[in-house]
Amino acid sequence: MAPPSSTAGLRLAELAALTGAQLDGDGDVRVTRVATLERAGAGAIAFLANPRYRSALASTGASAVIVRPEDATATALPRLVHANPYAVYAKVAAALHPTAAPVPGVHPSAIVASSARVAASAAIGAGAVIGERATVGERASIGALCVIGADASLADDVLLHPSVTLYPRTTIGPRTIVHSGAVIGADGFGMAEEGGRWLKVAQLGRAVIGADVEIGANTTIDRGAIDDTVIEDDVKLDNQIQIGHNCRIGAHTAIAGCAGIAGSTVIGRNCKIGGAAMIAGHLDIADGTVIAAGTALADSTATGGVYTGVLPAVPQREWMRIIASLRRLHSLFERVRALERNTKQGES
């Protein structure tokens, strides 16, 4: 099923002007929706970003396509040509399938503290709770059953999907999107051991989220122990990510699902972190670092680059042989050291 479209469509020439792509072919072709190459029909525009799907250009039913310059001659269809077709697709999809603007107002079942400040253009959903002295900016949309703690601050055009929880004093920057189930500003995991028992360490900082951030469903971001936990502008977080207290995530960094980042780690700008990566605490990750999926990172990175620490899956019997060999490595190492010592003694 094609994604819904709330527009009557746009001419290909209009889309070229909007996206900065080069127009090849009939600019008067009108498209109303986006689709995959395989499933596109009349009125749809599709894109080719991965060369492995190049053969699908010949059979697509799309009215127009988005391609790289090197793929432009592989189809006779009207096309938008750009070095980054996926980014062009993102702009086209946003233009053809715009998000509906929230209807301003407070649902009768919502609870808004008398000291809270909610912009008249904001939308507050059913069962939402807005705490004392909280502020909600212009055109913000607060979904059903969201809880906004005391003294929290939401800037203009923030979108909280249903059932988001913001603890007190959490700050959310403009145009940030938070998906359902996310919890921002909860206590960090701060414990002091004494006499075999644990003492809870008060978490006094805040969670500060920048502008144009997107936070996935069921992701958790702990507030700082003393200083703030900070997510800088344009950070993109997937679902089910854990970010510990006092972390700082640099602008334009993207983190895939199920990654875990322990407390007080600073991640630089423009980093890419793969799914299920585990990053130890108190590390400094350089700008431009790429951490592969499933990698366990225990040391800081002084320079950017790709870091990988994953053993690929192999048949179980082969894995058991590998483990048996690993267990013998220490004794083999000691034997080699003994041989080296004996050799040096013999030479002297």
Give the catalytic positions in this structure.
245
Q: Are strands 236-237 and 214-215 parallel, antiparallel or unpaired?
A: parallel
Q: Could you tell me where the DSSP H helices lie in the chain?
A: 12-19, 85-96, 316-327, 329-347
DSSP 60-119: ---SEEEE-GGGGGG--S-EEE-S-HHHHHHHHHHHHSPPPPPPPEE-TT-EE-TT-EE-
How far apart CA 265 and CA 242 sit, in angstroms, is 12
If you count them, how many residues does the chain have?
348
Alpha carbon distances (Å) from 327 to 268, 297, 318? 37, 23, 14
How far apart CA 259 and CA 277 sit, in angstroms, is 5
- Per the listing, tokens 């009207």 go with 78
* Phi, psi (deg, nearest 5) at residue 94: -65, -35
